[in-house]
Structure 1
Amino acid sequence: MTVALDLAPASEAEVAEIIADRHARRAPLRIVGGGTRVENRARGEALSLSRLSGVVTYSPGEMTLIARPGTPLPEIKAMLEAEGQALAFEPPDLRGILSGNGTPSLGGMVAANASGPRRVLAGACRDHLLGVRFVDGRGRLLKNGGRVMKNVTGLDLSKLLAGSHGTLAALTEVVLKTLPLLPARTTLAFPGVTQATALRIFTAALSTPFEVSGAVHVGGTAYLRIEGLERQLAYRRDRLLALLAEHRPEVLDDAPWGAMRDVAHFADGGPLWRILCKPTDAPEICAGLRAMGGDSSLDWGGGLIWYRGPGNPRALAPHATLIRRDTATGPAFPPQSGAVARLQDGLRRAFDPAGILNPGLMDA
């Protein structure tokens, strides 16, 4: 008998029942969060997780947060800040570049493994994910991980789900590690430098013990951010100034890190690509992107390139994701081949044997 339920479930049981029914009928589902991470062109009925919202437990003393996937990220941020804490990986808000009116959600953040400039110091979202509850493509409710790091044993499935964009399972609860807010920050700016020079600056700074928490090149200026206690900050700032004196750095008390994190410099239209690469390859890739007629910026010390412009950059860098289509065509996610493709297909068959979860997202 076919189950007829609202496709905006308010409980794990409803999520499981809907997916189990669609699995039996081989009917595809398009999992929807806040709609602020990537243009979702998957096939099927929309399964919205927005009503599956709210904080289950927040323990500031244990620095642990447990919440449901539809919980708005602005609410999480405000709650953590009130306790002097934060999500250390600094998730970006991409509403500006996607012209969306949705609200970033906790589940969407995890599903996209969304991580901002502080990734160079703190790691990515998946590195702070302690556990998950989820419904797989058969409609089975499963859990993995624990509430503290020492309890995370066995195969860490949460690392697989972070960045899978809902193609393996629908998240119903996530457990995240929180960290104290760093009380002070300062920025070293290097105006008028090329991307190749910026990479040399980043390499020198990130190889020191001075805990650089951001390394970005935007609009011809390279930026290095350091954060911490005031006395520590002054020492690290002065050491970096001496190390990089030949590049004539400027000290800024306030720099637009929020805007750089959210890629606001590319908010005004055109196809936009997110390219992952080895930092040492970034100057050559960016030179090729300029030849294609577009503009680019660097984040993660050169490990992340944002490109706005014509053409398909996958000929230069295979790990390029089309975040905003505009006039661009073709699959949004980079096609896989060889062993990686076989591994990806095997994981999908294990988690979702009927192929009903976000079908076409990775190749549409």
Structure 2
Amino acid sequence: MNEMQVPVTEEEAAAIIRDHAERGASLSIAGGNTRSGFGNAFEAETDLRSTGLTGIVAYNPGEMVMTVRAGTPVVEVEAALAANSQMMAFEPMDHRPLMGTSGAPTIGGIFAANVSGPRRLLSGAARDSLLGVRFVNGRGEIVKAGGRVMKNVTGLDLAKLMAGSHGTLGLLTEVTFRVPPTPKSQQTLVVSGLNDAEATAAMAAAMALPLEVSGAAHLPLTVVWKFLGGKLPEGEATVLRIEGLPASVDVRMEKLAAAMAGRGRVTRLDDEQSRWIWRDIRDVLPFADGTMRPVWRVSVAPGIGHQLVAALRLQAGVDAFYDWQGGLVWLRMEAEPEGDLVRRYIHALGGGHATLLRAPDKDRASTAAFQPEPEAVALLSQRVKAKFDPKGIFNPGKMG
């Protein structure tokens, strides 16, 4: 069984990493470990957790910037932000229902995995909110990059490089990020009865309007009944969210409803229903089914997501729904991961990224979890990895 170490200071974390680097011993880096089972299967000598590094370091709501130690539970961050009517604009997913894990998600884990939810369409990904980081590299050196204001371009690039690195470049110890105001209200328009291709066209049309649509998803018949307790209107549901001041939301919803009326049956969800359905889209409710059936997170151009699903359905048992205007496809396979098939079709349709998020251990051992990188990108990634972690001790199973 792996040893677990939970440092409570940055210096203690650095000492642990230096020791492992000197011995060439591997480290599995995690926060609350709520994405346990994600990545290629590997065994590390030591599990290094950031959960001892907790607390809000600096937060002035007027500046709309927060600095937090990486092991701080997300629920604590959200509570502090809610008390000041602010938010994490990128709407991070809670992986526990899908992955069947427990524990508490940490703010460092959110940025290390670049976890970004439905509002990414309007507000960008987690890395786009990140202003600065502190981390310990593979030499056991404490590094500071970026800061509380957007001045240091080099530092910002380094901070953003850490976002989405999955602990392969270093242990995040502190993050600084933007926290904009929470919208006062929201509503969601439901367009019912569209097939996948029609829904893709409808979402593209909605996003082209000057209405600041902050969420665009499509729920086919196989999954739609799982949302809102099965109380959505009959048929497939294409859902479009608008947020802001109540009067502005009302006006923009009227314009959106008029634009969509010719495409299908149109209904509205009020503020409470809208928050409910987008939380469940964010957390991939249909596939949080208590099984280990393989789940892929596929990022493609919005116009081709439905083509990918149609092609896969001819060859394999697959269920799917769409977020990000169709550009994020959640796929659940009924049996095998079919990694070669999924990636072959993605390549044929113009390219994208398929990440195996959940699967039984035997499938994780035989299927690459991350999209293979083009040769030039892979060489660059190897050089970056060698610079940050020259002994290769960090999270070998989380490398693309």
Please report the TM-score for the alignment, with normalisation by the length of structure 2: 0.86
CA shift for structure 1 position 290:
2.1
CA shift for structure 1 position 335:
2.1
Q: Is residue 37 of structure 2 the alignment partner of residue 14 of structure 1?
A: no
What pairs with 1:47-126 in structure 2 (closer than 5 Å)?
47-126=48-127
Match of 1:323, SS state, is: strand
Deviations 1:279-333 (A, max 9, x none): 1111211112322211011111111110001422222225111111136341222
Q: Determine the structure 2 residue equivalent to 1:328.
A: 363
**Which letter maps to 1:43?**
E
Choose from 262, 266, 285 the match for 1:264: 285
- Whether contact under 8 Å (2:65, 2:176) holds in the other structure is yes
Distance 2:35 2:89 in 1: 19
> Does the C-alpha gap of structure 1 residues 113 and 6 become closer, same or farther in structure 2, counting only changes over 3 Å?
closer
Q: Determine the structure 1 residue equivalent to 2:247.
A: 231
Distance 1:67 1:201 in 2: 40
- Whether contact under 8 Å (1:134, 1:142) holds in the other structure is yes
Deviations 1:93-116 (A, max 9, x none): 110011111111101100110011
Deviations 1:118-171 (A, max 9, x none): 00011110000000000111111011101122x333252011110010001110
Q: Is residue 308 of structure 2 the alignment partner of residue 285 of structure 1?
A: yes
**Which letter maps to 2:357?**
I
Match of 1:86, SS state, is: coil
- Whether contact under 8 Å (1:134, 1:173) holds in the other structure is yes
CA shift for structure 1 position 38:
5.2
Choose from 244, 251, 261 the match for 2:268: 251
Match of 2:304, SS state, is: helix
- Whether contact under 8 Å (2:35, 2:101) holds in the other structure is no
CA shift for structure 1 position 239:
1.1
Q: Is residue 144 of structure 2 the alignment partner of residue 143 of structure 1?
A: yes
- Whether contact under 8 Å (1:34, 1:50) holds in the other structure is yes
RMSD over aligned CA atoms reads 1.5
Q: Which deviates more, 117-126 or 249-258?
A: 249-258
Match of 1:242, SS state, is: helix
CA shift for structure 1 position 6:
7.1
Deviations 1:238-260 (A, max 9, x none): 11111111123211112311111
Deviations 1:10-55 (A, max 9, x none): 0100111111111111111000211223525443110111111111
**Which letter maps to 1:234?**
D
**Which letter maps to 1:147?**
R
Match of 1:88, SS state, is: coil
Choose from 345, 365, 374 the match for 1:337: 374
- Whether contact under 8 Å (1:36, 1:103) holds in the other structure is yes
Distance 1:185 1:362 in 2: 38
Match of 2:29, SS state, is: strand
**Which letter maps to 1:315?**
R
Choose from 293, 296, 304 the match for 2:320: 296
Distance 1:100 1:325 in 2: 13
- Whether contact under 8 Å (1:215, 1:224) holds in the other structure is yes
Q: Determine the structure 2 residue equivalent to 1:153.
A: 153
Deviations 1:252-284 (A, max 9, x none): 112311111100111112111101111111121
> Does the C-alpha gap of structure 1 residues 360 and 37 become closer, same or farther in structure 2, counting only changes over 3 Å?
closer
Distance 1:38 1:344 in 2: 24
CA shift for structure 1 position 189:
0.5
Distance 2:257 2:237 in 1: 16
Q: Is residue 51 of structure 2 the alignment partner of residue 28 of structure 1?
A: no
**Which letter maps to 2:375?**
G
Match of 1:90, SS state, is: coil
Q: How many residues align?
A: 358
Distance 2:36 2:382 in 1: 22
CA shift for structure 1 position 347:
0.9
Distance 1:287 1:73 in 2: 37
Segments of structure 1 that go 5 or more residues without pairing to the other structure are: none
Distance 1:55 1:85 in 2: 15
**Which letter maps to 2:244?**
G
- Whether contact under 8 Å (2:167, 2:398) holds in the other structure is no
Please report the TM-score for the alignment, with normalisation by the length of structure 1: 0.95
- Whether contact under 8 Å (2:186, 2:243) holds in the other structure is yes
